[in-house]
Amino acid sequence: MCSFALATFAQQSVTVSGNVKNSNSKEVVSAVSVTIKGSSYGTFTDDKGDFKITTTQKLPFTVVFSSVGYADKEVAVTSSNQVINVDFETKYSMGEEVVVAASRVAERIIESPVSIERMGQAAIKNAAVPNYYDAIANFKGVDLTTSSVNFRTISTRGFNGSGNLRLNQLVDGMDNQAPALNFAVGSIIGLTELDVDNVELLQGASSALYGSGGMNGTLLLTSKSPFKYQGLSFQIKQGVNHVDRAQRSLAPFYDWSMRWGKKISEKFAFKISGQFTQAEDWRANDNTNLLRNNVFSKTVPGDRVSDPNYDGVNVYGDEVSTSMQYIARLAVSQIPAAFLPTFTGLANSVTNQASYNNAVALLGGAGSPGGQLFPFFLGINKGYFGGTSVSRTGYDEKDLANYNAYNVKLSGGLYYKITDKIEASILGYWGIGSTIYTGIDRYSLKNFKMGQYKAELKAKNWFLRGYTTRENSGDSYAATITAVQLDRMWKSDGAWFQQYIAAYSATKAAGAPDANAHAGARAFADQGRYAPGSS
């Protein structure tokens, strides 16, 4: 009985430890797979290149060291507590990277039946871009649309635009689209930069594998396992933007991130990570005059001073427009037929300001029904309005949009190995941010929140996964709708257009040129308008 106990104790005490370094540079190599040959039991080197395996495997056995970009190395273990220091030789062959996007099973990229673009940790770390999401633009066949300093949209197969409905984005197997928007909100919600293991892009139709949103492709973002990547990491990126000072003075750019991964035992590990980015966004200030026709719009000459129907590209609220003749005819329709000859006679008598004032007085004064309707009748009678349309006074985007772009991302996960081949995990990703999205309008996503939470049971050839997505639009708003409603809060469209047209007609009767008459009419109708910066 004692001999049996001693034999069991001896088997349990077999420990192998050591360190892995690059044979050329002598730098430590992290995340190297260290496994016992002939089994799935093993571990990974930490950020210092160290590893340790405790096993009941009977001596002697062989330990296999493997990692992408290095030649596999086998070392025989003949005694307990053996220390192994490995010089890892670099070896890179095109097409040797393992991908899963093509067929949802691990395979070498060279064996993939379709075109796959892949970016590993080394490429992410060395990319000369503000963040890993920008580096995806270097993939072949990819267009990256940047709507804001922290809102980017990936497009493939030529269908570029902001907010791509034709491309799936999966983060650790979870569809990353915002439920209310029906597309992925760039990298605002998802992996922090230090927690990205790899990025794979499947260009082309992939709906059969990843759902109906993959008409033009699927992007897979995979996070790091705490069993493989351990330790505490910090990353700080600092910079400035608006260096040309064309829109504003220099502004700082912040990008801070951290990750902590820890293997508590051979069966249990956890990780937490976070990232904060903040920058002053650029300002859309295109004041070009836009002519809309509900199908194709085009730019035309003119500005707010020269065109009464001005509609600026980045000016909002001036989309509300109407024909002066139309409003005048609506007003004139209220005049009883019996009074039309009187109105006609008075209109024919108007040649200057004095005769206009006299006509209004004969109708009972400016405050009487007749005096209020006379400017509309006069304008039609004299042909003042023609085919001219007029738009409400809009607000520049800089007076509506929130250019303080920021993003906070938090994530965490618990991992438990039920057996050597089955792993259970619980993960959560949460983010909040403010950014600007450009679609059919300019949308300020202000304090936009979204979270994704997943429970998964995974083996080599199968998985059972359940996840939920929670979204809160926060204080988000669309620039055009906001500006239109802001105008209507202080004066209705009907009241504003009537005041404008009546004032224009009265000013024209006094002999003023068109430009002066329009300027005076707008100033009169805009009395009480909410000024930018007021509260």
**pLDDT of amino acid 99:** 52
d(CA 116, CA 105): 13
| Domains contained in the chain, CATH given | 2-88 (2.60.40.1120), 98-248+404-478 (2.170.130.10), 289-396+482-525 (no CATH)
**pLDDT of amino acid 386:** 92
**pLDDT of amino acid 103:** 56
Q: Which residues, given as ranges, of the chain have pLDDT below 70?
A: 1-12, 92-114, 294-295
Query: Which helix (H) or strand (E) is 343 found in, with range?
Result: helix 340-349
For the stretch 141-157, pLDDT in tens is 888 888 888 888 888 87
Residue matched to tokens 């257009």: 497
**pLDDT of amino acid 375:** 96
**pLDDT of amino acid 114:** 64
**pLDDT of amino acid 44:** 86
Burial of 265 (0-12, 13-18, 19+ CB in 10 A): exposed
Q: What is the pTM of this model?
A: 0.79
Do the beta carbons of residue 279 and residue 150 sit within 8 Å?
Answer: yes
Residue 395 one-letter amino acid: Y
**pLDDT of amino acid 422:** 93
DSSP 3-state of 261:
strand
C-alpha closest to that of 452 among 193, 183, 176 = 176
